[in-house]
Structure 1
Amino acid sequence: MYEYLKKLSSIYALRMFIDKIRDSKVLGIGTGSTVKYFIDELIRLGMLKDKKVVVSSYATHNYLYKHGIDAYTPINCNYADIYVDGLDEINANLDIIKGRGAALLWEKQLAIRSKLRIYIADYTKVNPEQYLYMKPVPIEVVPNAVYYVIEKLTILGYKPVLRIGKMKDGPIITDNGNFIIDLVYEKIQNAKQVDEEIKKINGVVETGLFPNNLVDYVIVSYPGNIVKVYSRR
């Protein structure tokens, strides 16, 4: 069922914004299983021709390459017309958590640089509360500062856990050569404030907290072929 719902939200988002996507010159595309359905639809409709596509990870870059589509990374892109990505949790304020795929740095770079940010998800990612609490917050950290950062986060009252690889020994390595710390907490009431506070720690590169100023639309699919659109606009 979940795979169907991922596809449903992807197709709905594409239909809702098809004119804007078709007219865009630079399209940012995120990372994850939900986004792959969105890419498949774009390819099926031939909508990636004559368009600069910028990706948030090498995983998405490779997926597009297998389909004969060239893509760029954020180093080649100062802006995007539209950015489409998945999410891990969204609360009632439209603050979101991203980064389970360890692509949060490029994802946030694209969100910051894009004129229109659209996120797609299924209902299991929706948190009806005003705060975040369902998912750990991923934090990208330079390797030589990881234990310093863990110590500072612990002092702040968080429970930081270094993310370890499942298919390799040792920590997960991001596309930027960094480590990921997953931050366990009770509640995050102010995503923007916490994001800024954590990034003041020396060695922290980026957090997976996307405050609602980086969110324009969220398309969420529910059982029964129901799709809801959440928006700040």
Structure 2
Amino acid sequence: MKTSGGSDAMKRRAGESAAERVTDGDVVGLGTGSTAAHAIRRLGDRVDAGLDIRGVPTSFASRELAGEEEIPCLDLPEAVGPKGPGIDVAIDGADQVATGTGEGADAGGEADGDDPVPGGALIKGGGAAHAREKLVDAAADHFLVVADPSKESPRLDRSVPVEVLPAGRTAVAAAVREAGGEPTLRCAERKDGPVVTDNGNLVADCAFGEIADPAALSATLSSTPGVVEHGLFVGFADEVHVGTESGVRVDEL
């Protein structure tokens, strides 16, 4: 369930802004989606101009684009294994970014008043790559989110993508309903049947309405047997690069 949003120019400004944060010698997490693709293309231009980096793709699509741009790539185990160099920075998009109000919540996302949503909480998974994205984004020293203004909201209220083991589909659906959500199996476009992730699993888009406490819901979903990973990213982002009509706004978190 990919999301539509702002203009391609806005997405390009955001992606290229984050790509300029990358420095010589960095290992870079390469996100998935249209805005992250602009970052990968800009990194390709910089590599062509002499920048020495290695990428860690989060999906088949990002690996293919990195290959087209001649960006050398590592697999995640190579990057974060015992002898790996680690990941210096990850650049990835989001389906929704909570702007919050700066009041009523601490940095860890604990409810502390009228506004329990910290700025920078995300919903990801429109491209069904959120399991690998979360692995890469969590391993990075710095995670830069790239977005356009249509992705911003005071509170998260989009459906949360949940990657599910096929055998656990029914049990997970029941657990989501018990948690106050309504799951819908994501169907593929231009083919019969459900979406199958790069990991061979299914995706349920789970509608919870306005999410008052993303951290609590994240913990609930993470502890549900049969859930491989979910699209709530709480406490991951370090910067949000928002492309606008005239430039880029960078919010540090």
Q: Verify same fold: TM over 0.5.
A: yes
Alignment correspondent of 2:45: 44
2:88 maps to 81
Q: Which residue of 2 aligns with 1:3?
A: 8
Between the aligned residues of both structures, percent identity stands at: 30
Name the counterpart of 1:29: 30
- Consecutive unaligned residues of structure 1, counting only runs of 5 or more, are none
What residue in structure 1 maps to residue 156 of structure 2? 132
Which range moved further: 62-71 or 157-166? 62-71
> Given residue 88 of structure 1, which amino acid in structure 2 is its aligned partner?
D
User: Which of 68, 83, 86 in structure 2 is aligned with 1:66?
Assistant: 68
- Write 1 or 2 for the structure with the bigger share of helix: 1
* 8 Å Cα contact 1:31/1:56 also seen in 2: yes
Counterpart residue number, 1:187:
210
Is 1:145 aligned to 2:150, yes or no?
Answer: no
**1:173 shift after superposition:** 0.5
SS in 1 for 2:77: helix
**Aligned match of 1:220 in 231, 242, 249?**
242
The farther-off stretch of 73-82 and 33-42 is 73-82
Measure the CA separation in 2 of the matches of 1:163 and 1:53.
29
Report what 1:229 is aligned to.
Answer: 250
Q: Which residue of structure 1 lines up, in the alignment, with residue 106 of structure 2?
A: none
CA RMSD, Structure 1 to Structure 2 (Å): 1.6
Q: Is the 8 A contact 1:56 1:73 kept in 2?
A: no
**Cα drift, residue 41 of structure 1:** 1.1
Report the 3-state secondary structure (helix = DSSP H, G, I; strand = E; otherwise coil) of the residue aligned with 2:168.
helix
CA separation in 1, counterparts of 2:33 and 2:88? 20
Q: CA offsets, 1:72-114, max 9 Å, x none?
A: 3323321300000111101122101111000000100011101
In structure 2, the CA distance between the partners of 1:67 and 1:229, relative to structure 1 (3 Å rule), is closer
Q: Deviations over 1:107-134 (max 9, x none)?
A: 000111010000111110010x2x311x
Distance (whole Å) between structure 1 residues aligned to residue 76 and residue 187 of structure 2: 26
Contact in 1 for aligned 2:161/2:204 (Cα 8 Å): yes
Residues 1:175 and 2:180 are matched in the alignment: no
TM-score normalized with structure 1 length: 0.90
Equivalences, count:
223
